Amino acid sequence: MNFLIDYNLRGQAALLWGTIAARGWLELMLIRFIGFEEVGLVEDSNDQQVWQAAQSNQMIILTANRNMKGDGSLEQVIRENNIITSLPVVTIGNKERLDEQNYRERCASRLVEILLDIDNYKGVGRIYIP
């Protein structure tokens, strides 16, 4: 499964990726972290563009700061576009804590849990982790 990494998580995503790899998950399942540029998005892409790119490329958005305020917010985009087959948006509750090994391990475990049961997470909209 592919995760579309929000531009605000680039540095922390590398730490999270390392934790997933260290726990051996990459040997058991295909997990890829993909940046905006790989799907033709720019850093200041709006939430609608990010959502559309993720859904059309069958990716789970991994973010930390897409807010719920305003008509163009990610939350509004989810409410207007989410259907039963839509992949979820995974939001890390506190990206600064990804520097802490325990928090990062909890986030990595949740990501893997979500992937293992992805069919039950389709259509839920947003999942906050850890």
Task: Give me the pLDDT at residue 72, please.
Answer: 79
What whole-number distance in Å separates Cα of residue 16 and Cα of residue 19? 5
Contact 88, 120 (CB under 8 A): no
Domain count along the chain: 1
Instruction: Give per-residue pLDDT as tens, 21-43.
Output: 999 999 999 999 999 999 999 99
Here the CATH number for the domain that contains residue 10 is: 3.40.50
Q: Count CA atoms within 13 Å of residue 102 on its CB side.
A: 0
For 58-68, the pLDDT digits (tens) are 999 999 975 66
Residues of the domain holding 54: 2-129
3-state DSSP call for residue 128? strand
Instruction: Tell which residue, 130, 61, 63, has the closest CA to residue 97.
Output: 130
pTM score: 0.94
Do the beta carbons of residue 54 and residue 87 sit within 8 Å?
yes
